[in-house]
Chain A
Amino acid sequence: MSNEQIPASLRELLADIFEMAPEQITPELNMAVVENWDSFRHLQVILAIEGEYGVQFDPQRIPDLSSVALLLEELQKKGAAL
């Protein structure tokens, strides 16, 4: 997966939450490498994505969605209009 596959809206949303530049948002980015992506921030990300794209994640899946690529994949599975 390349950077271009991340929709601009998701890239900007994540950049605002992680306080990073949009260009820094790559598919490989994950909880282990982003310093402030802790469990609280993760909940913030999940809620923001749910609200932004009108989807609901299964709470049991939420902890596993720990990288940008996994989030995007789950969003696509839910049929979100990206």
Chain B
Amino acid sequence: MQSDSERLELRRCMKDAVVRQDAAAVVDYGRQLLASSGKPANVMFCASTFAALTESLNSQLGARSLKTYVVRSVTVEPLIPYLTTEAVLSNIILDLQVGGYGSYVDELLNSASALAVFHPDLVLIILDQEEIAGRLPELCADGIGAEVGQEIDECVARMAQLLHSYRLGNSARILLQGLVVPDCTSLGDVGDANLANSLPNSIQRLNQHLAALCATISDCVFFDVDRLAARHGRVNWCDARMYLASRLPVSAQFFREYSRGLVRSFSTLFRASRKVLCTDLDNTLWGGILGEDGPEGIATGSAFPGNCYLEYQKYLKQLSARGILLAIVSKNNEADVREAFSLRSADLALSLDSFVALKISWNEKADSIRELAQELSLGLDSFVFVDDNPVECAAIRQQLPEVVVVEAPVLEPWKLVEVLSQQPFFDAAVVTDDDVNRVKEYKAQVQRAELAGSVNSRDEFLASLGIVCTFQSALLAPLARAVQLLAKTNQFNLTTRRRSAAEVEEFASAEGGQAVVVRVRDRFGDAGVVGLALARNLGDACVIDSLLLSCRVIGRGIETALLAYLGDQALRTGATRLVGEFIASKKNTPCANFYSEHGFTEMISSQETISDSLFYELDLTASKLMTPKWISVEGN
């Protein structure tokens, strides 16, 4: 419990920091004040202090201002200081406007409504059950609920219409709050649990449908308020006295939890989640100290306290499954660590393969993390660092302020998973296949970077990669990928012609035409379709219309292999010359000398034309284009 003097001291510090206009200190003291007690007076004090500091929060901390409109059917006004306070703790400034009680339909549908005129960045839709599904309690009451399914569908369809209609004319991000599952009904606990169409079961289904609806609308997130109610106790979540007297949907004792959950939920619409978790080993990934206790002495496995660490390992493994990259950052002897992972593999949920990188050395951890950020080509603001040692944690906080630091509770290892899961930094409302595959691709990238550092010459390095190129007709590979490459590639793109799918098909099917894609894999991974060329024969010449390569694979000779393939195909279709074209753009200088580097000569006539094109030619009967010796070629 917070003593009065402590509270007064923190308030004084905050006021002093306001006078100094030191926004970071104000927020930090505010956080401490609220952490020790979230009593209303502290929240009101923070809210009014933060409100006077908006400009400094913007300029010093880069806090994001969000014009936010609340579409509601319930009383939200008393929540406002809590919402604005929690938002500031997440580096967001809410500029709130609240709509009328009964006007949500008009607000969402009418293009001249108060909502539309406000032009918000964010819309919070907070409706209660009476508005979203007013008939459900009645339809569920008989325990059979013959019409319940249909009613749920209609409720969802109504909401879909409102959201779609609003989305059509507006780009604001949307948060739709779900419903709280009622704690008790006239069917009683047994009936509520066993009858499929009891009100609690029906509301749960409705929530699932609403969440699915939100997933179909761009920049829209579903806020599962029932999850919070369940976590903190549905019995007390709503104060019936205040709900019935003032339509207040949440009991005042949970204003902070509610606001925190709401802010966490919409934050995912405005910032990318972090991508890398760096974990310490001793007393974090396992119990004890490897260097002192030895591989058999460290605590991990099914028995307590080893199972606390096993839970943490499993949690990391789950993060990895959806694309969060794991790395070890530990001061240890690498050989000892390898031995421990091998001897204790049965007691560990992770193997060394689970990590994209191992930074095991006696170097400063800040240096290791910086190095890792470079190898992964990721910003430090993508990193989370977990360590039990307060000194290491403080060092990272100080040297790499962009990195989020999580201090592992060394005396209560069973709490680590909970501490991690309460943090919003890995939150994502959407997970794509690309996210899931990211782990493999980044792992390959780190391994290539490490290998590049360990071999002497470039050729030796490239040879050690074991690159395999597969050439295919663009029609056999996913055509969408070819078009995507045409649309997106800028650096290594000789003509930057944004050809459409239909045009690619034309090249592929024309007599003497070519539409070729190249897939690339090496010993570390499959990069997929990364290059494309379009060409067609005109007389004795095969003219290259487009040739491009994803920048991820430039510099490995793949461009040469692609050109050699085109040359072979040209000869096969009766052409004797290969003609290349280059159109300079702002971004394609890396390939400006591509044709001359491959023995082409510039065609004199090209300078006389008015277009920006430069043409180059190569006599295929006199010189042969060679695929680099470190590349093996597959396909025809």
Contact = CB atoms under 8 A, between A and B. Distances in A.
B336 interface: no
Interface string A40-65: 11011001111110001001001000
A51 B242 contact: no
Contacts of B39: 51-52
A59 B242 contact: yes
Interface string A1-23: 00000000100110011010000
Chain B, interface SS category = helix
A12 B7 CA distance: 13
Given A51-B39, A52-B39, A59-B242, A44 B45 contact: no
Interface in B72-89: 75, 77-78, 81
A35 to B, nearest CB: 16
Interface residues of B, number: 20
B604 interface: no
B78 A59 contact: no
A51 B78 contact: no
A43 B47 CA distance: 17
B252 interface: yes
B48 interface: yes
B40 interface: yes
Contacts, number: 51
Given A16-B47, A44-B78, A59 B40 contact: no
B467 to A, nearest CB: 66
Contacts of A59: 241-242, 244-246
A5 B546 CA distance: 85
Nearest to B43: A48
Contact of B253 (A17, A19, A51, A62): A51
B254 to A, nearest CB: 11
Contacts of B78: 40, 43-44, 47
B591 interface: no
Contacts of A52: 39-41
Contacts of B340: none
B41 A16 contact: yes
A9 B40 contact: no
Contacts of A41: 77
Contacts of B48: 16, 19
Contact of A43 (B41, B75, B241): B75
Given A12-B41, A52-B41, A44 B77 contact: yes
Nearest to B76: A40
Contacts of A48: 40-41, 44
B248 interface: yes
A54 B494 CA distance: 73
B508 to A, nearest CB: 66
Chain A, interface SS category = helix
A40 B77 contact: yes
Interface in B242-269: 242, 244-246, 248, 252-253, 255
Given A43-B78, A44-B77, A47-B78, A17 B44 contact: yes
Contact of A16 (B45, B75, B245, B246): B45
B252 A9 contact: no
Interface string B25-40: 0000000000000011
Contacts of B40: 13, 47-49, 51-52
B1 to A, nearest CB: 13
B15 to A, nearest CB: 12
A18 to B, nearest CB: 9
Contact of B248 (A9, A13, A43): A43
Contacts of A62: 245
Nearest to A54: B39
Contacts of A12: 41, 45
Nearest to B46: A16
B252 A47 contact: yes
Contacts of B47: 16
A17 B43 CA distance: 10
Interface of B: 39-41, 44-45, 47-48, 75, 77-78, 81, 241-242, 244-246, 248, 252-253, 255
Given A17-B44, A43-B248, 17 more contacts: A12-B41, A13-B44, A16-B41, A40-B77, A43-B77, A43-B78, A44-B78, A49-B40, A51-B40, A51-B253, A52-B39, A52-B40, A52-B41, A56-B241, A59-B242, A59-B244, A62-B245
15 contacts: A13-B41, A16-B44, A16-B45, A17-B44, A17-B81, A19-B48, A43-B248, A47-B40, A47-B248, A47-B255, A48-B40, A48-B41, A48-B44, A49-B40, A56-B241
